[in-house]
Amino acid sequence: MKFTPHIVRKNIKNLYLRIDKNGNLLVSAPLRMTDSQIYAFIEKKQNWIANKQKQCLQKKEQYEKQQRQNLYCPKKQELY
């Protein structure tokens, strides 16, 4: 695994995977689920996780590029 998941155990029925805006893997897991079951599920979903992290990184880079562009070339404002 290339990433370290942040696992939170909750009183829920299903396991949930999320990717935050920095590309970190967040896992919400039922209280009854073992660590081995959680990591097995993460391994099974490794392609999905990698794709979502890639998308997140691309969005972040695009946003930063847009912010730099706006800093150097602000939009012209028409005066009344």
CA distance 23 to 60: 9
| Extents of the domains making up the chain | 6-72
Q: What is the mean pLDDT of the chain?
A: 86
Please report which confidence band the pLDDT of residue 67 belongs to, taking 50, 70 and 90 as the band edges.
Answer: confident
pLDDT tens-digit map of 34-52 = 999 999 999 999 999 999 9
CA distance 22 to 51: 14
Q: What is the pLDDT of residue 78?
A: 66
Mean pLDDT, residues 15-20 = 94
Q: What is the pLDDT of residue 80?
A: 63
Residue type, 13: K
DSSP assignment string, 15-59: -EEEE-TTS-EEEEEETT--HHHHHHHHHHTHHHHHHHHHHHHHH
Per-residue pLDDT for 1 more than 60? no
